[in-house]
Amino acid sequence: MTKDIKDQIAGKLKEVEGKVTGDKLREAEGKTQQAKGKAEKKINDVKKKLEKKK
């Protein structure tokens, strides 16, 4: 499992935990971590496409 997917999963868990407990900060941390994972995935996808073109 790649780091970007781990960040997305961990972020979702934090977000849900924050919603369940009413902890807005934890929920926001989760959303931020998910966004980071999605951004890393897009970057990695672009890198792979560029490597294929070489």
Q: What is the pLDDT of residues 7-53, one digit of tens each?
A: 999 999 999 999 999 999 999 999 999 999 999 999 999 999 999 88
Determine the residue type at 21.
T
Angstrom distance (rounded) from CA 50 to CA 42: 12
Q: What is the pLDDT of residue 53?
A: 81
Residue 54 has pLDDT above 80, yes or no: no
The residue count for the chain: 54
Beta-carbon count within 10 A of 33 CB? 20
